[in-house]
Each structure stands twice: as structure tokens, then as C-alpha cells.
Amino acid sequence: MKKLICLVLPAVMLFCSVGCGSDDIGSANTSSNITSSKVESIDKNSSTSSDVTDESSDDSTSSKEEATVDDWRTHPEDFKLIALTYDDAPSFSDTNGNSTVRIIDAINKYDGRGTLFVVGRTLQKNGKALLEYAAQKGFEMGNHTYSHQSVSTSEVGKSWSAAEHFEDFNRCQELIVSETGQTPKFLRPAGVHTNEELYLAASSLGLPCVSGNCKRAVSDYSSSTSADMIVERVLANAFDGAIILLHGNNARTAEATERLCEILYNDGYRFCTVSELFELHGIDYNDLPFNTMLYGVDPETGEVITGKKY
Ligand SMILES: [Zn+2]
């Protein structure tokens, strides 16, 4: 049995968020900005948790009513918790960040929130309004490096010392703080590739490294991975305590997220941030290891999963 404790989360949100292979950061740099007025418009038109009963099936309605009585934040032991995470935010490879907004709204519609792993250089160029919108909706911001240099596939990244990684991570960290007011609590390395120098830098910044998808790759960054395939692969990875790694910059993932939220919600799942996943399992952030990748919480032992055990 999982070991959950009941927590009443503070009114103010606690902020902090496998395999993002060939992330299309380059295309993001040339994309359009999402404007504040657009965000305001999106906000007014977007669904909220109160909309669920209006737009869902009878089954969803009963599930929603149940959630209102036994809310997952105060009674997490009554639900299965899953952390949906999205890399390369804010990366607008499609229409003005609409895919990311669809993702945020889909998760919010089912009384949940998720985590965006932010690339510093794209935030600097075009991402502030979108991240403000995400933060307003209760999303957590994670650090996905400033320059997105993989230590496995980038010659630059391979050559970096711990000090150079530190500078890169810290630059992203400071940008997210200045633009959103949130201090990221987790790092997702570019490509989810690691080495000793990278772990040293992450440890120096106090950032545990988060992976995800511990059963099989989802690879939603690939244009050949359809929404149907994303849904199938995420469901194969889903369990109480799982961290799911997706990308927030394509319509296939947005469509899949909309479908997954309904399926998972009706199967008893609730959608939390990475910080909440650990907190609601009674795991102290300060006890998380810095020299390995984190995949979630084991539903049987209640302990942090640090490798692909399943
Ligand atoms: Zn990435």
C-alpha cells in the first residue's frame, strides 16, 4: 500500500517540474510571441475546473462531484496521482504557443496542474506571457537549462565542465525567477542525458534531476508519433506516482493530453506538479538524491524511483 499523508496545501502555490531527444528548439526561436492580450483572451475563453460538469459525460460528472467532496489535495490517499510534465517550454513551433495553452487548459479542466520545463533562451525571446498564464493556472516551472546542450549529443555539451553547466543552469534559473517569480526546484537535463559534471553542477544549485516515462519511451517530439500513439504510450507508462515526460510544443501532444486527461481522470487519476507528487507522498524535497535521475514514486513502497524498474 502506498504511504500517503494528508496535507492541506498552503493557499499560495508551491512552485518549482524522458527522453526529449531531438527537441526543436531552433524553430522555436523564430516563432511568434504570445501576447498579453492573447493570453487574456485565452483566459476568458478557457475552461476552468467548474466547467467540467457542463462539458463532460455523465460519468465525468459523477467523478467530478466525487473529487469536489474528496479533493485530491486534502485527501490524496483517495486518488492516483500522476505528474504530467512538458519540456521545451516556451517553444512555439506551432501557432503562437496554442498547443501549450491547450495543454494547460486541458489539465486545469480536470482540476489539475502540471509542470513546464523551461528552456532559458526561448523564455528570453518569446515566452514570458505564456509562462505567466501557466503560473496563473497553478503550473510549476522546472529548469530545462538555458542553452539546451545535451552532454550526449552536443559537442559543446560534452566538453563542458561542472562550472560551465552551473553557469548555464543558473542563467536559466535566474531568468525564470525574474520572469515568473517562481524558483524552479528541479532540473531536467537536455535530452535527459547526464554525466558526472552535470550532476555536480545540478547538486551545487540544489536541483534534483527529473526524468520520466520509466516503462517505455513516448517520443512525442517526433512528428511521426501520432496523437493516438502518444495516448497509447502514456497509458502504458501511467501508474500511481508516475512522472510523464512530454513536450509542450506540438498539436499532437496537445490533442493527446486532452484525451488522456479524460481517460485518466475517470480512472481515478489526479494531475499534480512534480513538487506535489513528492510532497503528497510524504517525501521531503531535501531528501531527494542529486546523483541520479528521478522517475516518480513507487506505488508499493512509497519510495522515490531512481531507475527504470518496471
Ligand atoms: Zn528538451
pLDDT value of residue 91: 64
For residues 144 and 202, the answer to whether their CB atoms sit within 8 Å is no
pLDDT value of residue 169: 98
The pLDDT tens digits of the residues spanning 261-286 come to 999 999 999 999 999 999 999 999 99
pLDDT value of residue 59: 47
Domains of the chain: 25-68+79-305 (3.20.20.370)
Residue 50 Cα to ligand 1 midpoint, Å, equals 33
pLDDT value of residue 122: 85
45 Rama class: left (phi>0) / alpha (psi -120 to 50) / beta:
alpha
Residue 23 Cα to ligand 1 midpoint, Å, equals 5
Residue 288 Cα to ligand 1 midpoint, Å, equals 22
State the CB neighbour count (10 A cutoff) for residue 276: 26
pLDDT value of residue 272: 97
Residue 194 Cα to ligand 1 midpoint, Å, equals 13
Residue 153 Cα to ligand 1 midpoint, Å, equals 12
Residue 148 Cα to ligand 1 midpoint, Å, equals 7
Burial class (CB in 10 A: 0-12, 13-18, 19+), 39: buried
pLDDT value of residue 96: 55
User: Rounded to two decimals, what is the model's pTM?
Assistant: 0.79
Q: Which residues of the chain have pLDDT under 70?
A: 1-70, 91-97, 126, 308-310
| Residue at 110: amino acid letter | Y
Residue 221 Cα to ligand 1 midpoint, Å, equals 9
Residue 246 Cα to ligand 1 midpoint, Å, equals 9
pLDDT value of residue 199: 95
* Nearby residues for ligand 1 (ion, Cβ within 5 Å): 20, 23, 87-88
Residue with cell 508551491: 14
The pLDDT tens digits of the residues spanning 119-161 come to 998 887 767 888 889 999 999 999 999 999 999 888 888 899 9
Distance set, CA 7 to CA 10, 77, 83, 290 (Å): 9, 10, 17, 25
- β-strands 293-294, 115-118: how paired? unpaired
Residue 175 Cα to ligand 1 midpoint, Å, equals 17
Print burial letters for 95-104: b (CB count within 10 Å at least 16), e (below 16). ebbbbbbbbb
